[in-house]
Amino acid sequence: MTHGELLSDELRRALRGEAWHGPSVQELVAPLSAEEAMQRPIPSAHNIWELVVHITSWSNIALRRINGGQVEPYDGEDWPEVHDFSDAKWNLAREALTESYERLSEVVLGMTDDELSVNAPKSSRSIAGMVSGVAQHAAYHGGQIAILRKAVTTQHRRTAV
């Protein structure tokens, strides 16, 4: 298996499932409604929706860096503001996450080991290291989503009774 194949698999597992660490981001957010995703059970913390768009942003940034685009995040790209909390917008946010990870996974799959070993633009880390970091980033925030999901679904069940 090439390094590109391993990294592609790592990205797909972080997104879709069968990850070693537990539920993937998709597994965590798929059953949630827009109303649940926008809840803020910890007032000073990001909500699930904000975490999803943040995870998507960093996958997009990594892809842009690989393709020779702007290295630094655009203004507001790190933590994009979420407005219009509708079911349609929530579905679009989840679709954007999937599309971003799939695009990055496909690009990495097509790269040689030599290409992956080159430093990412303006970085002391290789492209492979950056891509691995994208998957780790999803796992890190996936843990936060799991905790927030427990809080919002438990709260939702209590108020629905």
**Residue range 24-57, pLDDT digits in tens:** 999 999 999 999 999 999 999 999 999 999 999 9
CATH topology classification for 3-160:
Four Helix Bundle (Hemerythrin (Met), subunit A) (1.20.120)
| The model's pTM | 0.92
Is-contact 52 34, C-beta < 8 A?
no
The token pair that represents 37 in the structure block: 């995703």
User: Domain locations in the chain?
Assistant: 3-160
Is-contact 113 2, C-beta < 8 A?
yes
* Cα-Cα-Cα-Cα dihedral sign, residues 143, 148, 151, 154: negative
- The per-residue pLDDT for range 129-150, each reduced to its tens digit, is 999 999 999 999 999 999 999 9
Residue with tokens 């790592």: 10
Whole-number mean pLDDT of the chain? 92
* pLDDT value of residue 158: 54
pLDDT at 161 over 50: no
